[in-house]
């Protein structure tokens, strides 16, 4: 029997699952999210420009919270964060500009999971550390 395919979803993919039905067919069998993704979704509710958008985002947040047990940002992920931030800096980019993306990347690195994203440019310079799958 084959091994179950696994992966960590970037926030862009979590959002796209609502908006593009074809996303599901490109995902692994076992999907996870980082606590950083949950933080980004909470923030998205707070900064919604109107009430309709806020309600939609709040509903999506509820579905995500009931569907996933997010991977925590613990001391192991914090160690990986340093490696990820350093790789980004060595690639000539500014780590602070994409801080949440780097926490998500650090989670993927720590747990040895491929990272599924719609925004590969957010993870530029990290190809040597983590497997990035663009969908």
Residue 32 lies in a domain: yes
Q: How far apart, in whole angstroms, are the C-alpha atoms of residue 77 and residue 84?
A: 10
Neighbours of 19 (CB within 10 A): 8
Interior/surface letters 37-68, b for 16+ CB within 10 angstroms, e for the rest: bbebbeebbeeeeeeeeeeebeebbeebeeeb
* 135 assigned to some structural domain: no
pLDDT tens per residue across all 135 residues of the chain:
578 899 999 999 999 998 898 999 999 999 999 999 999 999 999 999 999 999 999 999 999 999 999 999 999 999 999 999 999 999 999 888 889 999 999 999 999 999 999 999 999 999 999 999 999
Both tokens assigned to 32: 């996870």
- The answer to whether residue 55 sits within a structural domain is yes
- Domain with 108 in it: 6-130
Q: Are 81 and 106 in contact (CB under 8 A)?
A: yes
Judge whether 50 lies within some domain. yes
What is the domain count for the chain? 1
pLDDT for res 98 = 87
Q: Does residue 91 belong to any structural domain of this protein?
A: yes
Within-domain flag for 98: yes
Identify the pLDDT of residue 96.
84
Q: Does some domain include residue 1?
A: no
pLDDT of residue 18: 84
Question: Between the CA of residue 27 and those of 43, 46, 91, 109, 132, what are the distances in Å?
Answer: 25, 28, 28, 18, 13
With respect to residue 111, please indicate whether it lies within any of the assigned structural domains: yes
What CATH number is associated with residue 47?
3.40.50.1010
Element (H, E) at 31: strand 30-32
pLDDT at 1: 58
């Amino acid at each position: 029997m084959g091994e179950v395919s696994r992966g960590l979803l970037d926030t862009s993919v979590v959002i796209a699952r609502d908006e593009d039905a074809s996303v599901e067919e490109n995902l692994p069998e076992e999907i996870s999210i980082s606590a950083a993704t949950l933080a980004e979704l909470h923030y998205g509710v707070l900064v919604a420009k109107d009430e309709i958008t806020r309600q939609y985002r709040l509903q999506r947040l509820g579905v995500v919270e009931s569907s996933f047990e997010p991977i925590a940002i613990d001391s192991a992920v914090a160690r990986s964060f340093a490696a990820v931030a350093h790789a980004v800096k060595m690639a000539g980019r500014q780590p602070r500009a994409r801080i949440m993306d780097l926490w998500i990347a650090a989670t993927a690195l720590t747990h040895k999971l491929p990272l599924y994203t719609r925004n590969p440019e957010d993870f530029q310079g990290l190809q040597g550390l983590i497997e990035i799958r663009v969908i």
